Chain A
């Protein structure tokens, strides 16, 4: 392949990050970000299955879902929402720093993002512990004795239906937490690469794409929070 080899060499001379099968850096960047957006579409469809199940059962068992929802810690949930929103801002600032070629600023924002992500996970861990203590984890030890408060009138709910709420709660927040863990790992790796100076104003696609992923995971939480924590919280 002497011809192609020559092409490869020529390209490498221009930009070390440019892969041989792309014509130029712009094409490579466009391909990578289109790929990332498509991946996000698959993520939306993936979570979509659970949102669909949530919708069906919330309509079918509203009283139980509302009563079970009241058992969640709104304080911790709200705190975590704030943490994630701030982390989305730091991600944007990281991308901006990468674009401007400010390596140390970039590393700084990446580290803050990872730390915020971990804060979220720790708080989530405390929430899960609370569920274990209150026997709100689905399974043989599940107990639920609360009632649905319908304008002061206490209506008993079927504990099986409340258990269904907690099944969905754990499935959805668990899957979200898994995505957060992956995101923290991803940003950890990016931090190391950024520290080593892999990124330049001409090439920071991984930062941008990881940022898109992080935003999506945040947005999923922005939906999860009201759907799970705020059912019937209006007064």
Chain B
């Protein structure tokens, strides 16, 4: 029960020690591991594969839209390509990416636990993910799906001739993978915290993942039963969503968005948690309004369940219902703004250093703010009716999903890379790629706001010639973005072998994960830490050298 006090980092012995990476080298020791850190790495590899696959489809979309004519592919192929892009990115990348990679790695470390509460269920969730992914790849290689990622009925039940059932089954299984992750996190956070780590001392990343997990376990079962009903309807010609048989396609949309809107918060909340960690560390300051930021995560989770019908303003719901959902959608802006304002307030009069993770954090704040504010525009019924199903909507959610989630993920990946791999990444390459991602991203998606506002509909493979200039800009941006995403993969892999050895706490960061070695031993801590301090006690931690002279490495 000896208490581990705030780091004099160097006192902890550096690498030659046995750690989670060199504790077993066989394939079996990886595939049958129950170590949350190894499972996080398994997830890291698999979500990266799916990310680049989804990115490949995104590039196909952008290439097709380079010219007004349908010259690269025909309408049917284009429908499949954007469906594949959407399904892969939503179900196989964005939903698992931050919780299953960073969350899996960090939740036990941050709360001073040896592992998640249910390590075998954690491994099971990865296998479910892989099963779902394999099924989806099979579905893709044998013809694909063309319903859009939304599976809208009646097209998905009676119209489409593609592999809807198989894709639905893949989503169903992937859903259970995410339920198990969420369940594991909630139990772990409730029951496995180190002595002294009370709820108001938890890192905000933990709060964010807790809120995310609540959405996962409350929302995901609903999409599961919904795709089951779609599959059953297709198989046995039932009429649950078919208006000709007495069913109601609107019911499908209600059930679908009851999950799929909160799913947006499954994606963004963990990234928000990452940003809170980054801002506090690189501003060397306790986060402003800790309690409000923590509770805003829960508020987003709760409000997130009350706004789904704003996806259906033009689908035929009553104006009265639309007004209520419009109002409730505005209310999500409050906790989101609490976060943005508090991050900004944290920066005020702090000593900021511009390491790569912080660049991503700045990118996140800016891009998420644009994505969030255009979200408020879309929550306004009048504007929504005007821009529904246009590129305005596409630009809006890419600002949140790519500009938000991905920026947070990459920032977090760089920040914790020394902890994960035991090596530092090359700082100047990382800064270059952060810049490329930011520029490429804006070049890709900002023109789409304009395109949508002047009326270019989404999901078409050709368009009137007057839209071409903006589409060319967007495609050019997507190439820059692609380079920006490929670079980290290359230099992070490079750093595994050639990067400078990382100290236990290279950033001088608060948080229990930095008090153990880099990389951590299999059971994380040699002695269970006892926490006697508030989160983000940066006034008690000296800043390390490389942060005093920015860009030194």
Contact = CB atoms under 8 A, between A and B. Distances in A.
A, B: real partners: yes
Interface string A27-40: 10011001100110
Given A35-B118, A52-B255, A158 B246 contact: yes
Contacts of B521: 1, 4
Given A30-B191, A38-B183, A46-B222, A161 B246 contact: yes
B522 interface: yes
B245 A21 contact: no
A15 interface: no
A224 to B, nearest CB: 15
Nearest to B240: A167
Contacts of B114: 4, 20-21
A92 interface: no
A27 B113 CA distance: 12
Interface string B182-201: 01101110111000000000
Nearest to A45: B221
A163 B245 contact: yes
Nearest to B184: A35
Nearest to B244: A160
A178 to B, nearest CB: 11
Given A4-B521, A164-B247, A42 B220 contact: yes
A46 B239 contact: no
A50 B183 contact: no
A168 interface: yes
A56 to B, nearest CB: 6
Interface string B108-145: 00000111011101000000000000000000000000
A30 B251 CA distance: 38
Contacts of B232: 171
B229 to A, nearest CB: 7
A34 B218 contact: no
Interface string A10-54: 000000000111110001001100110011011101111110110
Given A1-B18, A35-B187, A56-B248, A163 B239 contact: yes
B334 interface: no
Interface residues of A, number: 44
B23 interface: yes
A35 B117 contact: yes
B226 A34 contact: no
A23 B528 contact: yes
B291 interface: no
A171 B218 CA distance: 21
B237 A140 contact: yes
B240 A4 contact: no
A102 interface: no
Interface in B145-190: 179, 183-184, 186-188, 190
**Residue of B225, B245, B254 contacting most chain A CB atoms (<10 Å):** B225
A164 B245 contact: yes
B526 interface: yes
B245 A49 contact: no
B117 to A, nearest CB: 4
Given A56-B251, A160-B239, A167-B239, A38 B225 contact: no
B236 A47 contact: no
B523 interface: yes
A128 interface: no
A206 interface: no
Contact of B221 (A7, A49, A140): A49
Interface residues of B, number: 49
Contacts of A7: 523
B38 to A, nearest CB: 14
A60 interface: yes
B352 interface: no
B238 A138 contact: yes
Contacts of B245: 160, 163-164
B221 A43 contact: yes
B484 interface: no
Contacts of A168: 240
A160 B246 contact: yes
Nearest to B229: A171
Contact of A1 (B224, B228, B523): B523
A80 B258 CA distance: 33
Contacts of A57: 246-248
B54 interface: no
B237 A139 contact: yes
B523 A31 contact: no
A42 B217 contact: yes
A167 B251 CA distance: 15
A60 B222 contact: no
A1 B23 contact: yes
A216 to B, nearest CB: 13
A61 interface: yes
Contacts of B527: 3
Nearest to A27: B191
A1 B522 contact: yes
A92 to B, nearest CB: 24
B335 interface: no
A64 B219 CA distance: 31
A138 B237 contact: yes
A20 B35 CA distance: 12
B192 A31 contact: yes
B238 A167 contact: yes
Contact of A31 (B191, B246, B255): B191
A139 B236 contact: yes
Given A20-B114, A42-B220, A34 B191 contact: yes
B226 A49 contact: yes
A3 B527 CA distance: 9
Interface in A60-114: 60-61, 64
Contact of A49 (B113, B190, B225, B239): B225
A138 B221 contact: no
A7 to B, nearest CB: 8
Contacts of B522: 1, 4
Contacts of A50: 225, 229
Contact of A27 (B184, B192, B225): B192
A139 B235 CA distance: 10
B232 to A, nearest CB: 6
Contacts of B117: 21, 31, 35
Interface of B: 18, 23, 113-115, 117-119, 121, 179, 183-184, 186-188, 190-192, 217-222, 224-226, 228-229, 232, 236-240, 244-248, 251, 254-255, 521-523, 526-528
Enumerate the 5 nearest inter-chain pairs by beta-carbon distance, A residue then B residue, closest first. Answer: A49-B225, A46-B221, A21-B114, A45-B221, A21-B115
26 contacts: A1-B18, A1-B521, A4-B114, A19-B119, A20-B114, A21-B113, A21-B114, A22-B192, A27-B192, A31-B187, A31-B191, A35-B183, A41-B218, A42-B183, A42-B220, A45-B218, A46-B225, A50-B229, A53-B251, A138-B237, A139-B237, A163-B238, A163-B246, A164-B238, A164-B247, A167-B240
Given A31-B188, A41-B217, A171-B232, 4 more contacts: A4-B523, A48-B221, A48-B222, A56-B251
